[in-house]
Structure 1
Amino acid sequence: MTRSSSPDPARRSERSRQAVLTAAAELVAEVGFGKLTIEAIAARAGVGKQTIYRWWPSKGAVVFDAFQAANENASGSLALPDTGDLAADLRAVLRPTADQLADPGFDNTGRGLVSEHQRDPALLREYRERLLDPLLEVTRERLRTAREAGQIDGDADLDLAVELLYGPMYYRWLHGLGPLDHAYADRLVDGVLRALRP
């Protein structure tokens, strides 16, 4: 039996896609989001600019996909533990969030994406659907099971509780208001749980 020596277009396309994502991640960390260009990404990835535009509508979309790919490789699927200890479970998600926001390597990417979300409704919608809404929903679901177990007030507004958990951390990050560390994440969890106590 003879093997075909013709290249597999699907494999070539996936290789090119991965090269673009890697190039975007490296370049945004090196030069910042504002100075990043599609031309530079294409040159580093070894693809044509038209290849990038065939898969992504904007620079923000490429960087968002690169960010998502890195996070999926690092953390696997999005889930909150349910050990029965609500405070420990919430710390298990807020501590890594604090670590990421405090990481200088994330700062260029994160701030660039936040800025792009304000100008690009399609990118904001994708960010909400693929990242923010799933994170808020798994947190809301963990709080729902805690409410059913009597660990938090039966009338607790779960949407507000989720905003109370994540909002102060992102506010502190956006405005550079102080350290983002495990101690802050723990204080935040303790404060929110005091407010939700039955």
Structure 2
Amino acid sequence: MKSPDPARRSETARRAILTAAIDLVGEVGYPKLGIEAIAQAAGVGKQTIYRWWSSKGALLFDAFLTFAGEGEAAALPDTGDLAADLKLVLRATADEFGDPRQDLAMRAMHVEIVNDQALAAEYLERLDGPMRERKAERLRAAVRAGQLAGDVDIEVAVDMIWGPVLNRWLHRTGPLTHEYVDQVVDTALRGLQPR
């Protein structure tokens, strides 16, 4: 008889914990989300969670990355039509932000990132930094293709295009619709195009 593989057991427990965290934050909200409740829902001991994650925020961030497919995102689309490519990406972002299952978890994660320097550094390294580079590379390709002015500050351009979408979602200043993100792209590109 073959003995159980501890790595497989660990991965099974890890996935159960991450799933429980996402499910519970959607049910009870982040302030009421507790490690004990996550452990109970996942069928593990609290010590297992504390051994693998330094905080509730770190656990939720790991859950978010796992279910969002960390490391799986490819380069942004480059069909030759910059506006269409950016609208496609921002519409998908708006849809993701509008998903009720993910909304509370993502909001909670953002609060933790603001308040926890270690988690902010991890967010920059594992998610924001790589995604920002993909966005910047798509804009650099547009500069090379003559679709954007050669002297465009790429870092500022990334902020101009993606910043309003995050801001509207985070602060609930209005509906985050496809029409809105299309307007963001059109407005930003008018100011960034070569003259």
What corresponds to 2:67 in structure 1? 70
Deviations 1:13-42 (A, max 9, x none): 111111111111111111111110110110
Q: CA deviation at 1:76?
A: 4.1
Equivalent-residue separation in structure 1 for 2:84 and 2:43 (angstroms): 46
Establish whether residue 139 from structure 1 lines up as the match of residue 135 from structure 2: yes
Establish whether residue 179 from structure 1 lines up as the match of residue 175 from structure 2: yes
Amino acid at match of 1:184: Y
Equivalent-residue separation in structure 2 for 1:85 and 1:154 (angstroms): 17
Q: CA deviation at 1:104?
A: 2.7
What corresponds to 1:167 in structure 2? 163
Change (3 A) 1:65 1:141: same
What corresponds to 1:87 in structure 2? 83
What corresponds to 1:54 in structure 2? 51
SS of residue in 2 equivalent to 1:153: coil
Q: CA deviation at 1:58?
A: 0.6
Residue segments in structure 2 that go unaligned for 5+ positions in a row: none
Q: TM-score, normalised by structure 1?
A: 0.93
What corresponds to 1:39 in structure 2? 36
Q: Which of 9, 14, 18 in structure 2 is aligned with 1:12?
A: 9
Q: Which of 19, 22, 32 in structure 2 is aligned with 1:22?
A: 19
Amino acid at match of 1:21: L
What corresponds to 2:189 in structure 1? 193
Deviations 1:38-67 (A, max 9, x none): 101100100111111111111111111111
Q: CA deviation at 1:120?
A: 1.0
SS of residue in 2 equivalent to 1:5: coil
Equivalent-residue separation in structure 1 for 2:100 and 2:2 (angstroms): 46
Amino acid at match of 2:187: G
Structure 1 runs of 4+ with >3 Å offset: none
Establish whether residue 125 from structure 1 lines up as the match of residue 121 from structure 2: yes
SS of residue in 1 equivalent to 2:2: coil
Q: CA deviation at 1:102?
A: 2.3
Residue segments in structure 1 that go unaligned for 5+ positions in a row: none
Q: Is the 8 A contact 1:19 1:45 kept in 2?
A: yes
SS of residue in 2 equivalent to 1:177: coil
Amino acid at match of 2:79: T
The count of residues paired between Structure 1 and Structure 2 equals: 194
